[in-house]
């Protein structure tokens, strides 16, 4: 059997980053089509089984948004050992994104800078693929929704997105924290978020009545937030029945530890240098929410130790992306195995026991 993960990992290292990514998606799609496999790695150690806002996860280690923007390979990524997979960000209309190059590997820093700008095929293509998925799958598949760069009414774009994906996925993430769509992060301010969350609550009530379903709704936030913004965001999310927060997206900060020549590129920084700052912000959200919101930790996870640190800081589940650029799609089961060993070593019987225990 072809070792698709090994092949993908080698391609990722030698090709221009975005070309490598496209080749990885194509390889995973071809593998699924011709049933070449990679081996099904979706069975996780039972200690990792956990619940996230009613979603059953075999493992709390999920794939973050941006890897599968067009919902092309969610099943392949579940087979690759992720406990849940977030597709998107999808915008209502197809969008080319920023000119290339727009994705940079900072090899010396195990980091990535991207200014993709929501390149995606739009909601029609995205929802058509979601509609093809089998109803029985080995983990939840989420849809991450955004707004077109030139949208006359951005809130309407989010409402359209929520309405379209509502019955087709297991959870929905509202991305208001991409640094690559000018002005988008302003939606994190108290009044703007209240207006957006109010609109989404209406859509949700209407769709819930029509479909009998009610997938959890998460909001994805930036790591570049001050304590007062964290408190305001938490209270606003609670006031509008948002189920959880994904903490965090990429950062605009450029730590002075960065060594790669590419560190001056514009865009969002992710990978290893984001681990400590995003975990600090996660801990602040945990303190602010006091168990009233689910938190999903993302930013710089490359190992079981990193995933465990997020859980101890208050995350009920975690997501990663950038480390795949360095390690290839075989990373998820390694992180999961190491996390399971750490939970046992510290005497925890489950993930949920460890949440916030740090």
Ligand X SMILES: Cc1cc2nc3c(=O)[nH]c(=O)nc-3n(C[C@H](O)[C@H](O)[C@H](O)COP(=O)(O)O)c2cc1C
CB of 279 to ligand X, least distance (A): 11
Specify the stretch interacting with ligand X by CB under 6 A; choose among 53-61, 154-162, 269-277, 281-289. 269-277
Q: Is 300 in the site for ligand X (CB under 6 A)?
A: yes
Q: Is 298 in the site for ligand X (CB under 6 A)?
A: yes
* Residues numbered 229-248 forming contacts with ligand X, rule: CB under 6 A: none
- Residue 251's φ and ψ, nearest 5 degrees, are -110, 150
- Would the CA dihedral through 321, 258, 313, 172 be positive or negative? negative
Cα(133)–Cα(123) distance, integer angstroms? 16
Cα(137)–Cα(103) distance, integer angstroms? 31
CB of 64 to ligand X, least distance (A): 3
Q: Which is nearer to ligand X, 232 or 331 (CB)?
A: 331
Nearest to 215 by CA among 55, 25, 326, 13: 55
Nearest to 88 by CA among 175, 188, 27, 185: 175
Q: Is 274 in the site for ligand X (CB under 6 A)?
A: yes
- Can you read off the two tokens belonging to residue 20? 């490598």
Q: Is 299 in the site for ligand X (CB under 6 A)?
A: yes
Q: Is 103 in the site for ligand X (CB under 6 A)?
A: yes
Q: Is 322 in the site for ligand X (CB under 6 A)?
A: yes
Q: Which is nearer to ligand X, 326 or 348 (CB)?
A: 326
Q: Is 116 in the site for ligand X (CB under 6 A)?
A: yes
Cα(132)–Cα(170) distance, integer angstroms? 14
Nearest to 29 by CA among 66, 74, 92: 74
Burial 311-324 (b: 16+ CB within 10 A, else e): bbbbbbbbbbbbbb
Specify the stretch interacting with ligand X by CB under 6 A; choose among 24-32, 34-42, 295-303, 308-316. 295-303
Q: Is 144 in the site for ligand X (CB under 6 A)?
A: yes
End-to-end distance of the chain based on CA atoms, in angstroms? 43
Across 107-256, where does the E strand assignment appear? Answer: 111-114, 141-145, 171-175, 217-221, 244-247
- Residue 111's φ and ψ, nearest 5 degrees, are -130, 170
Q: Are 86 and 319 in contact (CB under 8 A)?
A: yes
Of 178, 278, 284, 316, which is the active-site residue? 178
CB of 116 to ligand X, least distance (A): 5
89, 98, 164, 303: residue in contact with ligand X (rule CB under 6 A): 89
Q: Is 321 in the site for ligand X (CB under 6 A)?
A: yes
Nearest to 114 by CA among 252, 260, 302: 252
Q: Is 271 in the site for ligand X (CB under 6 A)?
A: yes
Q: Is 220 in the site for ligand X (CB under 6 A)?
A: yes
Residue 284 designated active-site? no
Q: Is 270 in the site for ligand X (CB under 6 A)?
A: yes
Specify the stretch interacting with ligand X by CB under 6 A; choose among 49-57, 227-235, 270-278, 333-341. 270-278
Active site residues: 178
- Residues in contact with ligand X by the rule CB under 6 A: 64-66, 69, 88-89, 103, 112, 114, 116, 144, 175, 178, 220, 249-250, 270-271, 274, 298-301, 320-323
């Amino acid at each position: 059997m072809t070792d698709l993960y090994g092949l993908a990992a080698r391609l990722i290292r030698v090709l221009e980053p975005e070309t490598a990514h496209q080749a990885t998606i194509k390889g995973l799609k071809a593998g699924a089509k011709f049933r070449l496999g990679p081996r099904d790695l979706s069975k996780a150690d039972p200690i990792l089984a956990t619940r996230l806002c009613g979603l059953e996860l075999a493992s709390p280690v999920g794939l973050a948004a941006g890897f599968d923007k067009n919902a092309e390979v969610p099943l392949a990524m579940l087979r690759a050992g992720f406990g849940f997979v977030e597709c998107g960000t999808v915008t209502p209309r197809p969008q080319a994104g920023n000119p290339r190059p727009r994705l940079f590997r900072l090899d010396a820093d195990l980091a990535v800078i991207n200014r993709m700008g929501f390149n995606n095929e739009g909601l029609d293509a995205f929802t058509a693929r979601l509609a093809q998925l089998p109803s029985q799958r080995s983990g939840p598949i989420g849809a991450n929704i955004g707004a077109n760069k030139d949208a006359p009414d951005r809130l309407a774009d989010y409402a359209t997105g929520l309405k379209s994906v509502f019955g087709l996925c297991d959870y929905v993430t509202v991305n208001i924290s991409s640094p690559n769509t000018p002005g988008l992060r302003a939606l994190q301010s108290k009044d703007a978020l209240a207006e957006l969350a109010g609109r989404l609550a209406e859509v949700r009530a209407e769709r819930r009545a029509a479909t009998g379903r009610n997938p959890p709704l998460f909001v994805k936030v930036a790591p570049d937030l001050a304590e007062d913004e964290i408190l305001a965001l938490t209270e606003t999310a609670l006031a509008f029945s948002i189920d959880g927060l994904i903490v965090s997206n990429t950062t605009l900060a450029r730590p002075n530890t960065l060594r790669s020549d590419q560190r001056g590129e514009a865009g969002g920084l992710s990978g290893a240098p984001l681990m400590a700052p995003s975990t600090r912000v996660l801990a602040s959200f945990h303190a602010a929410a006091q168990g009233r919101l689910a938190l999903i930790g993302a930013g710089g996870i490359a190992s079981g130790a990193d995933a465990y640190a997020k859980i101890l800081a208050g995350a009920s589940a975690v997501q990663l992306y950038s480390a795949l650029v360095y390690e290839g799609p075989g990373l998820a089961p390694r992180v999961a195995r190491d996390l399971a060993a750490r939970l046992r070593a510290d005497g925890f019987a489950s993930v949920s026991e460890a949440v916030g225990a740090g």
